[in-house]
Amino acid sequence: LGEVVVGEQLTVELAEKHLVAIIATDIKGLHLDAVDRRILQQIGSAGGVTPTDCHQYECESPQEFSSRFLRRFHEKHLLLREQKGESVTYRLRGVALLAGEFGLLANREKN
């Protein structure tokens, strides 16, 4: 169905342009500051993180990293939390994943 709509009524380029605009609006509505955007971008580039990766993310301890970023982003549905045994990994999900794909997490003064 998506191919029919895109192929017959919208060009792929126009559909992508609209998708990027929707994602940009959603990201803007989250009121993420420059540090939040940078951390999300780094998590996306890394493919995922664990709380023990804290020192790469301006944090002194896994607890600080979890409370300052990981839990908050997870509560905003920006991160997927996967637990295997005692190990917990966080990855971008939803709008954050798409924003990362389209380069919308790059630090900008107004976005």
The pLDDT assigned to 9 comes to 76
The pLDDT assigned to 5 comes to 60
96, 106, 55: which is closest to 74 by C-alpha? Answer: 96
The pLDDT assigned to 55 comes to 95
The sign of the torsion formed by the CA atoms of 18, 23, 26, 28 equals negative
- E-strand stretches of 1-111: 79-84, 87-92
Average pLDDT of the chain, as a whole number: 90
38-85 per-position pLDDT tens digit: 999 999 999 999 999 999 998 999 999 999 999 999 999 999 999 999
* All domains in the chain, ordered by first residue: 2-101 (1.10.10.10)
- Over residues 23-31, the mean pLDDT reads 95
